[in-house]
Amino acid sequence: MGASGTEFDAEYGADQIQILEGLEAVRKRPGMYIGSTSVRGLHHLVYEIVDNAVDEALAGYCDKIQVDINKDNSITVTDNGRGIPVGINHKAGLPAVEVVFTILHAGGKFGGGGYKVSGGLHGVGASVVNALSEWLEVEIANEGKIYKQRYERGKVCYKLRVDRECEPELRGTKVTFLPDKEIFEETVFDYNTLKQRFREMAFLTKGLKIHLRDLREEEIHEHIFHYEGGIKEFVTYLNKSKTALYEQIIYCEGMKDNVAVEVAMQHNDSYNETTYGFVNNITTPEGGTHIAGFRSALTKVFNDYGKKNKLLKENEQLSGEDIREGLTAIVSVKIEDPQFEGQTKQKLGNSEARGAVDNIVRTQLEIFLEQNPSVAKMIIEKSVMAQRAREAARKARDLTRRKSALEGMSLPGKLADCSDKDPSKCEIYIVEGDSAGGSAKTARDRATQAILPLRGKILNVEKARLDKIYGNAEIKAMITAFGTGIHEDFDISKLRYHKIIIMTDADVDGAHISTLLLTFLYRFMPDLIKEGYVYLAQPPLYKLEKNKKVWYAYSDDELNQILTEVGRDSNNKIQRYKGLGEMDAEQLWETTMDPERRILLRVTMDEETTSEVDLTFTTLMGDQVEPRRVFHSPRMTKKVKNLDI
């Protein structure tokens, strides 16, 4: 190759291969074990420890879990399960608890002996949490004694010892840990994030009580989650901002081929389907075989019932989508050996789950419909209406379909497109109103920035059926401009812009338009949000002029800061921007559109809390006023004085 030794000094020999022993591997590559070292990864530590306690609950030994966020942002998780074994593990020659917290693959859940079903693998989670904590302390109550051990950054501080005596009937495990500041970008826990996750866990494990406390402030925040009705109550909770079509919650439960199946569902008056799948209490955002089994049973049972009872014509066939319009359903399965597709447990792959769910739902749903003919009639009538609307939508959709931007189909008239055809360099600004659109068109970088002005407020898709949505000119313009198609035609590889930037006025109407746009994107093109292609522009609120110099402020605090720096006197000219239309093209470019100087907020979503995101959109954008008032009241009263609620 002719390269001289001076060009490549680095040696690559046998000694350059690092052997990472014990928990060093975790500290070296934390993202492999907990997904990321961001806030999400930080909260994941808590879930790992709590999951071990939930596994005890699933095995029938634990009914109380307490989670405390302590003043120093450490976490304490206490359960009343059997307690991690304290005896000596002969293979390792160490106490079992030390094995669990210090050896990476200490799986106590393989082999089917200790646990029938579990979400985690005992030890993998616990040892990872230990490795990524500044310190971790474990206490185990066992036969009248409390055993204790402390670790620092995964290293044992002292051998397992008896710390004190206790009541002979007391049992369980208490783990306290402090996440390592060297590893995590952020070490402050968010109470609401934990609250959402534990609420979901309590719904999925009926009878389990989870007590969450935040001890960081003078006033203790706490929530107790305890649902005897399990997933039936979960469906009621998800439907609280909607009007249910019928009162009963359809519930199916049974065991087949070693798979325990639980399904709860209820239709409401909305147009969106919300089905959540769980395997051993782990959410599966991408579905899998259990969801496929549920859907095929649903389609078959309703079509058979409709034809048998003359609610459908002989040749009439309802599609699964029609039947599932406005359905809220929870499908929870417990499997001894779950096979997930992918490292992140997003999708279930066990083939037996499909047959088990299909069989149990089919059998029990048939009985329910026979016993409740009025409910069956309501659902089928709603499905027939959905089918008609879908037909109308299909005709409308053909107008919005574009295979490619270059296939001769014209782009929307109002779109000022960019000249660059590389999607990774292109961005589209969705702008409120034609006047701001005009300034944006003048200001933009024509090579990479496209402008699509929207006239007025777009349709609230939460309250409309498909045919109406496809008929809306503003929505049609967006679908055509993005190029990805929608629903089953959606193809992210055809996205023409890798930045979709919503740019609205900094007022109430602007916030409303942004929310309407985000509702549309979340319901019809959620992948754009998941992949991080959607942004919110941040136009300035104030312009300050003094002695021919100009400053822009994006908040009241920033304005005060600038005024403190430049001095408060009569030379200050302050302008409050009410809308984008008040800026000329140069100002708009300088403050909001110049990639070098602008501030953009990326819109993201956590797939693990999809049920909460769904609920928030339904509450804010749905028909019912009362849930919205309840949602806003506590938030407003904290921020606003003299508010008349």
Residues 6+ apart with CB under 8 A from 388: none
Say which residues have a Cβ less than 8 Å from residue 555's Cβ, sequence separation at least 6.
541
Angle at 621 between CA 618 and CA 623, to 5 degrees: 85
Query: Side chain identity at 435, as an amino acid letter?
Result: S
CA distances from residue 373 to 200, 248, 313 in whole angstroms, order as listed: 32, 13, 18
E strand residue ranges, 309-434: 327-335, 340-341, 347-348, 427-432
Out of 186, 509, 582, 607, pick the active-site residue.
509
Amino acid, single-letter form, for residue 606:
D
Per DSSP, the three-state class of 138 is strand
What are the percentages of helix, strand and coil residues in the chain, rounded to 5?
Answer: 40, 20, 40
d(CA 590, CA 601): 17
Catalytic choice (139, 427, 505, 612)? 505
Distance of CA 30 to CAs 25, 44, 108, 150, Å? 8, 12, 22, 21
Single out the catalytic residue among 137, 352, 432, 462.
Answer: 432
* CA pair distance 249, 120, nearest whole angstrom: 30
Q: What token pair was written down for 634?
A: 């506590």
Which helix (DSSP H) or strand (DSSP E) does residue 100 occupy? helix 96-102
CA distance 262 to 331: 6
How far is C-alpha 211 from the chain's CA centre? 22
Tokens of 307: 């034809």
Residue 505: active-site member: yes
Indicate which residue of 507, 582, 606, 623 is catalytic: 507
Residue 429: alpha-carbon gap to chain centroid: 26
Measured CA to CA, the distance from residue 602 to residue 583 in angstroms comes to: 24
Give the whole-angstrom CA distance, residue 256 versus residue 209: 28
Task: Examine the residue annotation and report whether 491 is marked as an active-site residue of this protein.
Answer: no
Q: Which residues pair with 335 in a beta bridge?
A: 259
Residue 524 DSSP SS3: helix
- Annotated active-site residue 55? The verdict is no
CB-based contact 161:149 (threshold 8 Å): yes
Please say whether the beta carbons of 171 and 80 come within 8 A. yes
Residue 82 phi/psi, 5° resolution? Answer: -75, -15
Report the C-alpha gap between 176 and 49 in whole angstroms.
10
Known catalytic membership, residue 214: no
Q: Name the CA radius of gyration of the chain, rounded.
A: 29
Q: Give the span between the Cα atoms of 58 and 60, in whole angstroms.
A: 5
Q: Could you tell me the two tokens for 479?
A: 């679908």
- 558, burial (CB in 10 Å: exposed 0-12, middle 13-18, buried 19+): middle
Taking the C-alpha atoms of residue 510 and residue 214, their distance in angstroms, rounded to an integer, is 35
b/e burial code for range 427-445 (CB count within 10 A of at least 16 → b): bbbbbbbeebbbbbbebbe
The candidate with the shortest Cα–Cα distance to 385, out of 294, 454, 456, 322, is 322
**Residues 133, 45: contact at Cβ < 8 Å?**
yes
Catalytic positions, written as ranges: 432, 505, 507, 509
